[in-house]
Structure 1
């Protein structure tokens, strides 16, 4: 294997690991978060677990859309979506939302894993697919950290 191919493969593997959450896998943490606590807003915070999940998924979906169609007219950093309602109506709604987040996360991972996808080509908006993947992992990690903190305060972990 050529050095360039090795570096490319290594970069893709590391991005995949971090997109999934590294040592604290995103989807596992979401599934561990109790549905009955997903709507609780702690004093001083403007979000619940449900709101965080909706926000995370909206940003992931936007960045995934850019990765699927990088030359399209995609605003990769639109105003942040924060769901209006602070709790899911049912445990099924909570689990369906986690499933949808996981499906989009895995779709992004498949793009990152595909060696035919050029992660470093600069697109008309000045961004690369690697930028979108790294932005996703950074944004998700930030808010998963908030979810973990809220969950600890609520006795989830």
Structure 2
């Protein structure tokens, strides 16, 4: 039978793998997406890759803030932020947004990996840090799938 410590380490390792994107690493997919296609909105969709990245980051930041300081950030599911501009102003802005997402993801991963981070302590809002990490990976995975589909339609992959 696995020890409590072994189970804790296993859960943390699995969360980290899935936060990164599992078999399709999120940061790599974002970096592969052509900047010149990041603002294209396909017919029937209300978002471009740029809008998706902004939405992913806004939700990710909310959940990361909760994980860092749960008592100060109890609102974990505010109204969805969808950027109004569908085109990045420059390739530099696109790359900076990806860099910022990667840094925020690394920060969340460091929290998950830290054995001093209590992933299962129920906070005043009824949620846990593990819930925030799983919500992040689920939400990001959903929208990365949309981004991947857009990219395929636009000939990125």
Partner of 1:14: 14
Instruction: Write out aligned runs for 1:5-154 (5 A).
Output: 5-154=5-154
Q: State the distance in 1 between where 2:87 and 2:33 align.
A: 13
Partner of 2:156: 156
Contact 1:111 1:117 (C-alpha < 8 Å) held by counterparts: yes
Q: Distance in 2 between matches of 1:96 and 1:87?
A: 14
Distance 1:73 1:150 in 2: 33
Which consecutive residues of structure 1, in runs of 5 or more, have no partner in the other structure? none
Q: Secondary structure at the match of 1:151?
A: helix
Count of residue pairs the alignment pairs up: 156
Contact 2:65 2:73 in 1 (8 A): no
Offset of residue 71 of structure 1 = 1.1
Mind listing any 5+ residue stretches in structure 2 that lack a counterpart? none
Runs of 4+ in 1 over 4 A off after TM superposition: none
TM-score by length of 2: 0.98
TM-score (norm 1): 0.98
